[in-house]
Structure 1
Amino acid sequence: MTTLTAKDKQVVRDFFGKVGKNAEKIGHEALARTLVVYPQTKTYFAHWKDLSPGSPMVKKHGFTVMRGVLDAVDKIDDIVGGLLVLSELHAFRLRIDPANFKILSHNMLVVLATMYPEEFTPEVHVSVDKFLARVAVGLSDKYR
């Protein structure tokens, strides 16, 4: 399991403190990219009428995802405990394959690197990648 050092945690807090104001756009872009590049993820959203990248539902859910990520930043010292309710929701009600958390995390990294090329330094990349891996573990916790 990936361990976040005190330095990683500070890097993540600082980075998301800067980019969090664009959470809606980041979340939308990351989810839209996920649905396009990994079309198998569309099965979880079959009840939506429009899964195109600019659709209101994709934008709305992308923002919901980013609010969860920002919440995890606030709970960075106990991500698994902090994401317990979301883990239960995804495991028991939504029944999302936990592999999708890693897919979305990867797409979020791509979006962050694209939107913030100056701020997304190698150090930030490593820390944010480790953080998103911990978020994926936290969301997967109730699957065990």
Structure 2
Amino acid sequence: MIARKLPDLTPWCISLLTRRLLPLACEASLGEKAGGEILGSLLVVYPWTQRYFETFGYLGSDCAIMGNLKVKAHGKKVLISFVKAVMLMDDLKGTFAMLSDLYCNKLHVDPENFLLLSNMILIILATHFSEEFTLQIQASWQEPTNAVANAVALKGH
């Protein structure tokens, strides 16, 4: 199979999905739903990440995680931060400097977890925007989601 280079649609794709994603992130019920799905999926698929959320209560089953109000609320914060970051791509390191310091130096979060989280963001985006989330859009979104993950994990490298 010959690999084809996809056209650079990144600016267009980011613009399109950011316009759709911002309302999704900011509307209370939708933001908690999508954000909760992102963080909840991370905790279910990669159970070792649960150790950073011990204060969230019982996380012993998939249903408990996906129904946990603290997971949903924190997931919404994650989604809103991600949307803001995508709009501030020129200064990701500065945008996430304090958060990176908190996660990496105080909470000792494994930097790889941020890449796992970025993958969950893409998966949940694909489920919410299935018709619009083509392979080209996924390819265009891979770079910014990884850039955000790397900016948050910066102090841990």
What TM-score comes out, normalization by structure 2 length?
Answer: 0.81
Contact 2:115 2:150 in 1 (8 A): no
SS in structure 2 at match of 1:9 = helix
Q: Where in structure 2 are the equivalents of 1:96-115 lying within 5 Å?
A: 96-115=109-128
- 1:7, CA displacement in angstroms? 4.5
Q: Could you tell me which amino acid in structure 2 is paired with residue 40 of structure 1? A: W
User: In the TM superposition, what is the alpha-carbon distance from 1:87 to its structure 2 partner?
Assistant: 1.1
Unaligned runs of 5+ in 1: 1-5
* Corresponding position of 2:23: 21
| Superposed structure 1 runs of 4+ greater than 2 Å apart | none
Amino acid aligned to 2:79:
M
Q: Which has the higher contact order (CA 8 A, sep 6+)?
A: 1
Q: Is the 8 A contact 1:8 1:127 kept in 2?
A: yes
Letter in 1 for 2:154: D
Q: Hey, what's the Cα distance between the residues in 1 that align with 2:37 and 2:112?
A: 19
Aligned residue for 2:10? 8
Contact 1:50 1:57 in 2 (8 A): no
Q: TM-score, normalised by structure 1?
A: 0.88
Q: 1:49 aligns with which of 57, 65, 75?
A: 57
Computed over aligned residues only, the root mean square deviation of the Cα atoms, in angstroms, reads 1.8
Unaligned runs of 5+ in 2: 1-7, 26-30, 60-64
In the TM superposition, what is the alpha-carbon distance from 1:78 to its structure 2 partner? Answer: 2.0
Q: Among the aligned pairs, what percent are the same residue?
A: 34
Q: Does 1:92 align with 2:105?
A: yes
**Alpha carbons 2:9, 2:136 under 8 Å: kept:** no
For 1:65 and 1:112, the matched residues in 2 are separated by 13
Q: How far apart are 1:9 and its partner, in Å?
A: 3.4
Equivalent residue runs for 1:68-79 within 5 Å: 68-79=81-92
Aligned residues: 140
* Structure 2 residue identity aligned to 1:78: D
Check conservation: 1:26, 1:108, Cα contact below 8 A.
Answer: no
Contact 2:21 2:83 (8 Å CA) reproduced: no
